[in-house]
Amino acid sequence: THFGFKTVPEAAKETLVRGVFSSVASRYDVMNDAMSLGIHRLWKDHFIRTMAPAPGARLLDVAGGTGDIAQRFLDYQDTVNGDSQASVHMVDINPDMLREGEQRFAGSRWLQQERIGFTVGNAERLDFVEDNSFDVYSIAFGIRNCTHPDRVVREAFRVLKPGGRFMCLEFSRVTNPLLAAAYDLHSFYVIPRLGEAIAGDRASYEYLVESIRRFPPQDEFAQIIRDAGFTTIGCGYENLTFGTVAIHSGYKF
């Protein structure tokens, strides 16, 4: 165990994750660009194109953070669908991250039209969300930080309307061994050092790398989604950038 957090008990994970994101909140966007060379923007664009939300859709964006998914969803509704009814509700466990998200939409037309909302909450217990109430559920780079991903997916199933769609964008497994070796170098050498250099916070970025390695691989996660009641199409996921990240999706029928 070369990283201290490996010994952190499960129950403490929520507290740990809260600390990590509070400490990175204000530099979060800059760091995303630095560590992924800007590629996270393309992944998120592709995620929304894959979602292809219908006009008027209600999206619940869980672990919404600084609002990258919410922003892209509303942009898509405006520009592709020419729609002015669709709305998104962002949930995040961390008030500091959610505040960054709120600031991003401050003064926006979407806020004035009450088409964007924010709630601090845990993805595992969305008590404040009614059953069968959203058309689409999204969680981007959030579920691996949750203590019980299976509970997160079950909550998603509960809050989606029949016919609704669960969509997850998350780091996954690079399968090609040569690329996997290069990716490991990036993870263990480049990312913690970048975290240190840009954010002065090596430990948080070591945590991020560790959380990626511990999250179940593509097929295992697809099974968790089916176990929660969702119907998947084909294998249930699409790999992006050699499996660095994957989009998992399922329908509530």
Binding residues for S-adenosyl-L-methionine: 66, 92, 122-123
Nearer to ligand SAM, 171 or 183 (CB): 171
CB of 11 to ligand SAM, least distance (A): 13
Among the listed residues 201, 214, 170, the one whose alpha carbon sits nearest the alpha carbon of residue 13? 214
Q: Which of 35, 63, 168, 191 binds ligand SAM (CB under 6 A)?
A: 63
Select from 57, 92, 165, 247 the one that contacts ligand SAM (CB under 6 A). 92
Q: How far apart are CA 3 and CA 205, in angstroms?
A: 11
Which residue among 65, 149, 243, 250 contacts ligand SAM (CB under 6 A)?
65
Choose one: 72-80, 129-137, 141-149, 182-190; the region binding ligand SAM (CB under 6 A).
Answer: 141-149
Rounded to a whole number of angstroms, the minimum distance from the CB of residue 124 to ligand SAM is: 6
Which residue among 35, 57, 68, 136 contacts ligand SAM (CB under 6 A)? Answer: 68
Q: Is 69 in the site for ligand SAM (CB under 6 A)?
A: yes
Would you count residue 172 as binding ligand SAM (CB under 6 A)?
A: no
Please tell me whether residue 17 binds ligand SAM under the rule CB under 6 A.
yes
Question: DSSP assignment, residue 231?
Answer: B
CB of 187 to ligand SAM, least distance (A): 15
Between 28-36 and 13-24, two packed helices, what is the crossing angle to 10 degrees?
90
Separation in Å, CA 136 to CA 28, 37, 62, 201, 213: 25, 29, 11, 35, 27
Round to whole Å and give the CA distance between 188 and 209.
7
Among 64, 192, 195, 236, binds ligand SAM (CB under 6 A): 64
For residue 161 the two structure tokens come to 């309307």
Measured from the CB atom, the residue of 116 and 231 that comes closer to ligand SAM is 116
SS3 content of the chain, % helix, strand, coil (to 5): 55, 20, 30
How far is Cα of residue 21 from the mean position of the Cα atoms in its chain? Answer: 13
Handedness of CA 31, 18, 223, 130 (dihedral sign): negative
Known binding residues are 66, 92, 122-123
Q: Select from 72, 86, 135, 142 the one that contacts ligand SAM (CB under 6 A).
A: 142
Binding-site size, ligand SAM (CB under 6 A) = 21
Q: Residues 6 or more apart from 19 whose CB is under 8 A from it?
A: none
- DSSP letter at 195 equals I
- What is the smallest separation between the CB atom of 179 and ligand SAM, expressed in angstroms? 22
Q: How far apart are CA 154 and CA 112, in angstroms?
A: 32
**Nearest to ligand SAM of 92, 135 (CB atom):** 92
Binding region for ligand SAM (CB under 6 A) = 17, 21, 62-66, 68-69, 92-94, 97, 122-124, 140-142, 145-146
